[in-house]
Amino acid sequence: MTESLLNIDALTPAEMVEKAGNLGIKKAALPLVNLLPLAFLAGTYIAFGAVFASVVATGMPGEWPYGFMKLLQGLVFSMGLILVVVGGGELFTGNVLLVIARAQKKIGLLSLLRNWLFVYIGNFVGSLTVVFLILISKEYLASKGALGALMLSTANAKVQYGFMQALVLGILCNIMVCLAVWLTYSGRSTTDKILAIIFPITFFIAAGFEHSVANMYIIPLGLLLKVIDPGFVASLSLDLTHLTWNSFLVANLLPVTLGNIIGGGFFVGVLYLWSYRKPQK
């Protein structure tokens, strides 16, 4: 009883650094038979958050204040990371924080890259699975097709960023995502973790920053919708000439992924580790 009473306070940032390093050891050591399903689940969870955000925003552009619409989208998208952190999942953007364990020499470079590679693949497969489920269920026809129109417009806008713009938007995004994950390290309860996640994630969505795993759902949904239901797409009279697999992979996913690594790895992982490193004896 005495020990539990002593452990109700949040962890300090210095303690969070140690916790991040120890978590990195566990994550890097996960066998593929465990890692891949958890990565798959995390991809589906982020995709579900994106679906939720699209549903909430349907019908709002031009009718509601922009800021209010983005606020609501961000709040509901937070569900995705809550499911990952509380329910359990391996998310590439959050696992960028394994740089802490690597910098502490608790894991090797190959272990770090192995985790990132297989988690990235698992996230992608999970995201695409939700894409196919949305298309097969014809969920995009909700609200007389307004939901599908919004999904296509969002995907189309994302592939038209310049490389540097997408890179920087990726950096800004994963500063917030990794800060959300970082803050959960301080929590002692599920409530602590949920509250720590909501505001950073709401901010990154409201601001329009770029998340590589979310884009693994959002953009392929638009690309495959063009193929599966060309009649519906034609009825929207949207210019989708820029919405191609090449623009997705090269103009968006590549720079956004690099930005996510820089944003979370350096601005959160490296800087906190450096600031709270133990002095040399």
Residue 2 has a pLDDT of 45
Residue 3 lies in a domain: no
Nearest to residue 240, comparing CAs of 219, 211, 215?
A: 219
Q: Pick the closest to residue 211 from 134, 150, 123, 130 (CA basis).
A: 123
How confident is the model over 229-258, as a mean pLDDT?
96
Q: Which residue has the tokens 């590589």?
A: 212
Does the pLDDT of residue 75 top 70, yes or no?
yes
Residue 117 belongs to a domain: yes
Range of the structural domain that residue 104 is part of: 9-275
Amino acid at 184: T
Q: What is the pLDDT of residues 151-171, one digit of tens each?
A: 999 999 999 999 999 999 999
Q: Which tens digits make up the pLDDT trace of 93-146?
A: 999 999 999 999 999 999 999 999 999 999 999 999 999 999 999 999 999 999
Least confident of 58-62, 90-94, 151-155, 241-245: 58-62
pLDDT at 47: 98
User: What CATH number did the domain enclosing 61 receive?
Assistant: 1.20.1080.10
Q: What DSSP element (H or E) covers 131?
A: helix 109-137
Q: What is the pLDDT of residue 1?
A: 41
Domain assignment present for residue 280? The answer is no
Q: Quick one: average pLDDT of 252-261? A: 98
| pLDDT range class, residue 61, cuts 50, 70, 90 | confident
226, part of any domain: yes
Task: Write down the pLDDT at residue 7.
Answer: 61
Residue pair 225/150 in contact by the 8 Å Cβ criterion: no
By C-alpha distance, which of 172, 179, 175, 161 is closest to 253? 161
Q: Cα(55)–Cα(76) distance, rounded to whole angstroms?
A: 10
How much is the pLDDT for 6?
52
Q: What's the number of domains the chain is made of?
A: 1
Q: Could you give the CA distance from residue 120 to residue 39 in angstroms, rounded to a whole number?
A: 7
* Reported pTM: 0.94
